[in-house]
Homo-oligomer: A and B are copies of this chain.
């Protein structure tokens, strides 16, 4: 794997890594319905505001969201709505896995994984 290829996949991995957290996915999902301020997201996610803020900054530096201070709050919005397409495929993977585990359980009493 030459340096250029390496770099390309590292860049891709950075984006995916930014998305790879339940709270962050949830926030992306919320932002797909329109912009939200940190306080709204904090209330929805249910963790400390500092935690939420850090999650948002991860998404921001990955280029997935953008922020804008307006009045007293900071509003975040989804910058790359195409990330929503991920969810379709991810959903498929999950359902497929679920189906297979069912099938496995039926064929034998063998425990999956």
Contacts and interface: CB of A to CB of B under 8 A. Distances in A.
Interface string A80-113: 1011011111111110110010000000000001
Majority secondary structure of chain A interface residues (helix, strand, loop or mixed): helix
A68 B1 CA distance: 25
A interface, size bucket = 35 or more
A74 interface: no
Contacts of A94: 11-12, 15, 63
Interface of A: 1, 5-6, 9-13, 15-17, 19-26, 29, 44-46, 61-64, 79-80, 82-83, 85-94, 96-97, 100, 113
Contact of A90 (B12, B26, B88): B12
